[in-house]
Structure 1
């Protein structure tokens, strides 16, 4: 919101305290204690995000008329992401912090609990990155997620928008294409080499979306590809057959599987080779009836449950998960 002149109240306060003047944001706050930055500050569980807004200068942005919707990670969520309280914010690289904070700001009012019951509905953040909102019914509950992270269902209304609390810090994606995200991960060099040898890297540079379950280097070595040289000597056709069993023609966060899997806690996922992988939900021992993740089982993996090492790595054309073993197909 722009003002040509300082308000009378602002000038009086400046005169009383011998201040040089009040900013436009101070002017707004004098007249409105229910503006988004004030609502964030007044919540004892959101101190880290409040500090991030101030440090990045984004408090000024979300003090404007807007409206805006803030997806605010709790202090616990920030701690889990390695940013422990306001002190952790101060110690974070400023450019990284600004990108991360802007990713949690939406321009406009998004009443997420009124969206259609669909998976991964695309919206764009203030920082320009894409986010994906799911609204789904699980048992008797309506569940909201963003990039696979749970959103608390009750929104807080401010005078210039809405505030929604989420349980994880959302990381803006660094790469437009899955191929580049895989290439940049030093734990996936063997998998990336296999993509190149099989002529499949170009697939992961297309619009998609795709989801990739990429075996780590240790998993590839265990499977029999012990080095880059071994992969370069392998049949491109055989490699392509193997790789296609690790790619889904859709965007799938781990929580999507938890929401879409029924009471048996098992389901199947079709891969781009038309074969299926078994999905089994991992119970959350701290939440009755809840689940904390998934395991995978290829048709040739026997009784082995394959675990997720890293989850929900978002890119412009899909999602990357890393896994601790190779998915095997029954021969």
Structure 2
């Protein structure tokens, strides 16, 4: 009995050993099989340890080196690497280039307080994703680090079907949406926003020498003082060269007898009253309701204007156009049209409206003579 018991124990140990050996071989074959068979679609969910806080993310992004230089220049790096949450509205280097900024040293030439306010305007003290913005919302306002509100428009639904989700911050298009940061989110902008804190459209124009003839004309025809008030304006500002194209110069203005001209036509043609339109609004309107134009009569006049625009071929950058007619009847053919598609010169946001750059004059003095 004792010998038989020992034999049984030895037999069971051999079975246990063989089973263990077979199991090891099976595991080894599985490992070899995984190595031999390449599964391209095999993904393993692991925590993303590479998500950086805001300032570090911008610093390590090749297309945002100028924006990071500005952040560093005004002392925002530590704050934007902090707890947050933040939403960073980051213009590309190309966007800064259009503003005449090519190197980090260019920021040394700027007023540092003003620069800090502008950069702070590109930061929201909250985490904002596209889905947080109202569908087809126009000029939804959000606070910024500069204590000034910016305007957000989201064209999310096309009436012909399909979601567009085009997004604009104070007229600047978002070209990359909802980048996740460790302490918030980031939206990449195709243009630098241009807020003019506490400046009216009047004070902004007064500080721009290239519009000096336009300013003189507004003063001569009693259209200037209203631009310092609380009423909103969208101004399509022709520079000195544009007015020269329609026969208006500083010298010719001095010689004009204002009583002989319709001032609301000659210079009022460039003023849109009680409206606050970014150039991007034309694109948003086109997406929402398939109509990118806004029509209106000039103030104190029967002349009829169409303001429209969108992404203009071949650059597909935002631009606008104006078309002036003697009236709004079917027989009223256009008198003149002009465009403005220099992105860096449009969307100058002021406390009581916006100023856009118009590339040509609209009305000659002869066309505005009183009958």
Whether 1:168 and 2:200 are equivalent positions in the alignment is: no
Tell me the CA shift for residue 166 of structure 1. 0.8
Where do residues 66-81 of structure 1 align in structure 2 (5 Å cutoff)? Answer: 66-81=84-99
Q: TM-score, normalised by structure 1?
A: 0.76
Task: Give, in whole Å, the separation in 2 of the partners of 1:102 and 1:258.
Answer: 27
Task: Give, in whole Å, the separation in 1 of the partners of 2:185 and 2:78.
Answer: 16
* DSSP 3-state at the match of 1:154: strand
Unaligned runs of 5+ in 2: 1-48, 327-332
Count residues with an aligned counterpart: 299
Give the 3 Å change call, closer, same or farther, for CA 118–38 of structure 1 in structure 2. Answer: same
Give the 3 Å change call, closer, same or farther, for CA 222–86 of structure 1 in structure 2. Answer: closer
Give the 3 Å change call, closer, same or farther, for CA 280–161 of structure 1 in structure 2. Answer: closer
Of 54, 73, 82, which residue of structure 1 is paired with 2:72?
Answer: 54
Tell me the CA shift for residue 93 of structure 1. 5.6
Regions of 4+ moved over 6 Å = 262-266
Unaligned runs of 5+ in 1: 1-30
Contact 1:120–1:251, Cα closer than 8 Å, also in 2: no
Tell me the CA shift for residue 190 of structure 1. 2.4
Of 114, 118, 124, which residue of structure 1 is paired with 2:143?
Answer: 124
Q: Which residue of 2 aligns with 1:276?
A: 304
CA RMSD of aligned residues (A): 3.4
Q: Which residue of 1 aligns with 2:350?
A: 315
Larger Rg: 2
* DSSP 3-state at the match of 1:325: coil
Q: Deviations over 1:28-49 (max 9, x none)?
A: xxx9963222222333322222
Q: Which residue of 2 aligns with 1:134?
A: 153
Where do residues 205-220 of structure 1 align in structure 2 (5 Å cutoff)? Answer: 205-220=228-243
Task: Give, in whole Å, the separation in 1 of the partners of 2:157 and 2:93.
Answer: 27
Tell me the CA shift for residue 150 of structure 1. 0.6
Q: Deviations over 1:53-111 (max 9, x none)?
A: 22321012212322221101122222333322545556766445433322211112223
Q: Which residue of 2 aligns with 1:5?
A: none
Give the 3 Å change call, closer, same or farther, for CA 123–231 of structure 1 in structure 2. Answer: farther
Q: Which residue of 1 aligns with 2:263?
A: 239
Q: Deviations over 1:4-57 (max 9, x none)?
A: xxxxxxxxxxxxxxxxxxxxxxxxxxx996322222233332222223222321
Give the 3 Å change call, closer, same or farther, for CA 41–202 of structure 1 in structure 2. Answer: same
